Amino acid sequence: MSNLTNSTMKMCSFADCLSRWLVAVLVILLSAQAGKCPKFCICDNSKLTMACIGKNLTQVPPTIDEITMKLDLSKNDIQVLPTHAFLHIPHLTHLTLQRCNIRAVREGAFRTLGRLVSLNLANNNIEILYQESFDGLSSLKQLTLDHNRVEEIQPGAFTQLGFLNMLSLTHNQLVYIPNMAFLGLHNIKWLRLSRNSLNNLAMEAFAGLFTLTRLSLNHNELQFFPTQTMTRLAQVTRLDLSYNPMTYLGEDTVSMPKLTHLYLDHMSLQDLSDTAMSQAPLLSHLDLSHNQLRYLEPLSGPMELARLNLTGNPIHCNCYLRPLKEWAKKGKVKLMGVCAGPPHLSDEPLEGVGPMELRCRSREDMIKEEFEEQEETMERALPTAKPKKKIKCPDNCDCDVKAQHATCENRGHTKIPYGFPTNSQLLDLRSNHFHYVPSNSFPGTDQVVSLHLEHCKVREIEGGSFRGMKGLVYLYLSDNDLTSLGSETFIGAPELTYLHLEGNQLAMFPGAALAPLPSLLVLHLERNTIGKLERTGQLSSVPKLRGLYLTNNTISTIAPGALNSAHLDTLHLGSNQLAEVPTDGLSKASSLTELCLSGNSIRWVGPKAFLPVSKSLRQLYMDDMGLEKMSRDSLVGLGSGLTTLSLGGNQLEELPDLSPLTGLEVINLAHNPLLCDCTLLPLRRWMENVSLKMTATCGHPPEFRGQSVRDVHVFKSCPGESASPGKTLKGFKDTKSINPKPTLLKVTMAKAKPGKAKPMPTKPKAKPLKNPKAPASQKTRRLIKSRKSVM
């Protein structure tokens, strides 16, 4: 028996050894196969993962091993994903492509990735989700598209994503969700649409989302609760609508049978019907914090309500609050918040105020008031035996008195309709054919807060067209055919705060037209044909203006003092025809915190260019300008206050001293052909002393092209490393004479943009060099060498 046992043990031992030997061989074989790791990437063969982060890649590397399962290509410059971009790596399960400047996803780009479960496309420049964009991703469970520029979802964009659980589209530019936009998401659980510009949802916008349990719509521009749209979401348990400008919730507003958590905080709610939640029986948590509610009636409908948050509301703790307190006590509802008045109860917690403290005036006054109300009711009741009149609404329009919303969108109107309910707060007239808006076009609309006239082919607006609209705050005149605006165009709308005029044909800044708008804070003039800002004090007619958006005009000249304003906070001048920083134009813009100059043709930034706004400026964008030179004093004055500096996509070979910018949180130096010799040593030292993530790549000399400034070792050969940062080091060796280690020259680099030999740049007269001869001769030798390598 013992012999048999020993024999069995030997056999088991042999089998175990054989198994281990086979595993070892398999690992060796896999390692050999997975040995094709590009030198600019980091690979983990045991986990089948690869990371090629911030390597200036312009395409998906073709040498990635076929068995790779997790791939991270973040912070590259891929821009376009072509068809079959991942044909050679079909086993991927996780793919990260964030911060790759992707602007287009071609049809079938992911078609071979049938095993992929997670796709991250955040922080790119995608504008449209096309019908075939995500074909082939049949196993995908999580899709992240945050921080893009998505403004359109084409029908069928998600039809291939039947297993998707979470779709995130936050921080995009969506204004409208059309019918059936998310068709095909049969297993979706959470849909995130936060921080867009949504002001309208089609009735069937979420049709087909039978498994959706959580919907995030916070930080949008919805001015009324989309009851009809939400009624279709029978399984949703959590709904976040916080930070939307809603003012009122009427009867039966919320009709969602399984809703348990509803967030309506940080809105503009002034009133709430006691039956607003009557069709949400399972509601357990209701957040109404930070609104304008003074009173609240007991809510009928929710039987499971456990918490009602009223924090930050001006709740008046008198006898009118007593029913709510008694209802909360009976139903064991926790009330959160404090009393705003009367003075003796100010800041008292709602939970701690007793019924006897909730008093109004004397009993005699209350009886007298009740008697007068009864008499008034009887007087009104006598002649009112007639049936109630039908709700007044213009032909071919829809009016919702409870929601205070009226729409005539895309109904083919050629004249402005009139006769809307007098309590309307939102009028939606977009996508009609008005051409001309006569004076007094909106009688009886003094309560309207938001008026939409986009895409109406309006060519002319007569003076006084908006007269009587004393409550108007938002006016949308985007994408029309306006060429000019008269001085009386906006008379009668003194509370107008947000004005959208983008996408018209305005050739001049409409300063005179804005004079009747003392409350104007934000002005959108993108995509017009404004060529000059000629007049000094151009913004004097709108003294409170804080945001001015002039992107995509043809501005070539800005007069001195043209943009002076004590309150101007944000100024976007991108994609114009400016040839220099408008320093004089901003001489008294003392509050400016954000300045965008990207996309202009500014080749040279002179000394003290931002000095007038240096004390307030926090964010500076100068991307894609073809910028070739910056004075060493160009950033003088911009110290610890600057948090963002973006210089990507230019032609900079050298940079000014960045060491004074001690408050930087974001810096973009990508896609500049930096000259990696000893003149760049101060930048290299600065990069080593800060903890910021940045991409800085050598463009010259040719042997270092495409490599990160952090990685090249040419700086070790630079003499005088003790020189003070920001000053050009003298007496350094020519790059040709430096003998780098052979390994530097053998580094396998990603496919980079083809280098082009540049002519000698013309040096600006305002920037004389202390010792022009030596640097010029060294640069000439480098350029000659570069040309030879290109030829």
In angstroms, the CA 660 to CA 658 distance is: 6
What would the DSSP string read from start to end of 97-157?
A: -TTS---EE-TTTTTT-TT--EEE--SS---EE-TTTTTT-TT--EEE--SS---EE-TTT
Extract the tokens encoding 663.
């408050």
Give the count of alpha carbons within 13 A of 410, CB side only.
1
Tell me whether residue 87 is in a domain: yes
pLDDT for the residue 754: 36
Residue 509 phi/psi, 5-degree rounding, is -65, 125
pLDDT for the residue 343: 86
In angstroms, the CA 143 to CA 786 distance is: 43
For 148, other C-beta atoms within 10 Å of its C-beta total 23
pLDDT for the residue 734: 38
What would the DSSP string read from start to end of 317-371?
A: -SGGGHHHHHHHHHHTPEEE-B--BSGGGTT-BGGG--GGG---S-HHHHHHHHH
Burial of 349 (0-12, 13-18, 19+ CB in 10 A): exposed
Decide: 314 and 271 in contact? Cβ < 8 Å: no
pLDDT of residue 259 exceeding 50, the answer is yes
Spatial neighbors of 82 by CB under 8 A, at least 6 apart, are: 106, 109
- Distance from first CA to last CA of the chain, Å, rounded? 84
In angstroms, the CA 74 to CA 623 distance is: 20
Extract the tokens encoding 479.
């994408």
Extract the tokens encoding 30.
């896999």
Reported as a single tens digit per residue, the pLDDT across 425-476 is 999 999 999 989 999 999 999 999 999 999 999 999 999 999 999 999 989 9
pLDDT of residue 674 exceeding 70, the answer is yes
Which of 626-640, 675-689, 726-740 has the highest mean predicted lDDT (pLDDT)? 626-640
pLDDT for the residue 717: 84
pLDDT of residue 774 exceeding 50, the answer is no
Q: Number of folded domains in the chain?
A: 1
pTM value is 0.49
In angstroms, the CA 475 to CA 495 distance is: 11
The counts of H helices and E strands in the chain are 8, 43
Tell me whether residue 206 is in a domain: yes
Decide: 137 and 160 in contact? Cβ < 8 Å: yes
449 closest CA partner among 289, 172, 288, 244: 244
pLDDT of residue 733 exceeding 50, the answer is no
pLDDT of residue 677 exceeding 50, the answer is yes
- Least reliable range by pLDDT among 129-133, 216-220, 559-563, 778-782: 778-782
Spatial neighbors of 375 by CB under 8 A, at least 6 apart, are: none
What would the DSSP string read from start to end of 47-74?
A: TTEEE--SS--SS--TTS-TT--EEE--
pLDDT for the residue 265: 96
Query: Which H or E run contains 44?
Result: strand 42-44
Extract the tokens encoding 14.
């042999």
For 105, other C-beta atoms within 10 Å of its C-beta total 23
Between the CA atoms of 49, 55, 60 and 62, what dihedral angle is there, to the nearest 10 degrees?
A: -80
In angstroms, the CA 67 to CA 560 distance is: 62
Amino acid at 39: K
pLDDT for the residue 371: 55
Decide: 476 and 454 in contact? Cβ < 8 Å: yes
Residue 156: pLDDT band (50, 70, 90) is confident
449 DSSP 8-state letter: -
pLDDT for the residue 750: 35
474 closest CA partner among 229, 203, 199: 199
- Least reliable range by pLDDT among 371-380, 421-430, 557-566, 628-637: 371-380
Burial of 576 (0-12, 13-18, 19+ CB in 10 A): buried
Strands 570-572 and 248-249: unpaired
pLDDT of residue 758 exceeding 90, the answer is no
In angstroms, the CA 501 to CA 498 distance is: 10
Residue 444's SS3 state is coil
DSSP alpha helix (H) spans, 494-597? 511-514
Burial of 88 (0-12, 13-18, 19+ CB in 10 A): middle
DSSP alpha helix (H) spans, 232-340? 322-331
Q: Output the domain CATH number for residue 194.
A: 3.80.10.10
User: Higher-confidence residue: 112 or 733?
Assistant: 112
Decide: 650 and 626 in contact? Cβ < 8 Å: yes
Burial of 39 (0-12, 13-18, 19+ CB in 10 A): exposed
Query: Which H or E run contains 4?
Result: helix 2-33
Extract the tokens encoding 180.
């059936």
Tell me whether residue 402 is in a domain: no
Across 238-266, average pLDDT: 94
Tell me whether residue 165 is in a domain: yes
Reported as a single tens digit per residue, the pLDDT across 406-427 is 999 999 998 999 899 999 999 9
In angstroms, the CA 603 to CA 625 distance is: 7
Query: What's the domain range around 59?
Result: 37-221
Residue 359: pLDDT band (50, 70, 90) is confident
Tell me whether residue 697 is in a domain: no
463 DSSP 8-state letter: T
Residue 158: pLDDT band (50, 70, 90) is very high
Reported as a single tens digit per residue, the pLDDT across 120-135 is 999 999 999 988 789 9
596 DSSP 8-state letter: E
Tell me whether residue 750 is in a domain: no
Residue 376: pLDDT band (50, 70, 90) is low
pLDDT for the residue 537: 73
Strands 142-144 and 238-240: unpaired
Extract the tokens encoding 96.
């990260």
Amino acid at 719: P
Question: If you search the block for the tokens 């703790």, which residue do you land on?
Answer: 317
Extract the tokens encoding 467.
């007269």
In angstroms, the CA 728 to CA 719 distance is: 12
For 642, other C-beta atoms within 10 Å of its C-beta total 24
Q: What is the mean pLDDT of the chain?
A: 83
Tell me whether residue 8 is in a domain: no
In terms of C-beta distances under 8 Å and separation of at least 24 residues, what long-range contacts does 322-325 make, across chains too?
322/355, 322/358, 323/297, 323/298, 324/296, 324/297, 324/298, 325/350, 325/353, 325/355, 325/358
Decide: 460 and 441 in contact? Cβ < 8 Å: no
What would the DSSP string read from start to end of 165-194?
A: -EEE--SS---EE-TTTTTT-TT--EEE--
Question: If you search the block for the tokens 């969602």, which residue do you land on?
Answer: 256
Tell me whether residue 178 is in a domain: yes
pLDDT of residue 698 exceeding 70, the answer is yes
pLDDT for the residue 378: 57
In angstroms, the CA 492 to CA 473 distance is: 12
Q: Is 67 left (phi over 0), alpha (psi -120 to 50) or beta?
A: alpha
Residue 703: pLDDT band (50, 70, 90) is confident
User: Higher-confidence residue: 255 or 743?
Assistant: 255
pLDDT of residue 777 exceeding 50, the answer is no
pLDDT for the residue 38: 85
pLDDT for the residue 319: 87
In angstroms, the CA 308 to CA 41 distance is: 53
Across 143-168, average pLDDT: 93
What does the angle CA 336 – CA 339 – CA 341 come to, to the nearest 5 degrees?
A: 165
Amino acid at 440: N
Burial of 28 (0-12, 13-18, 19+ CB in 10 A): exposed
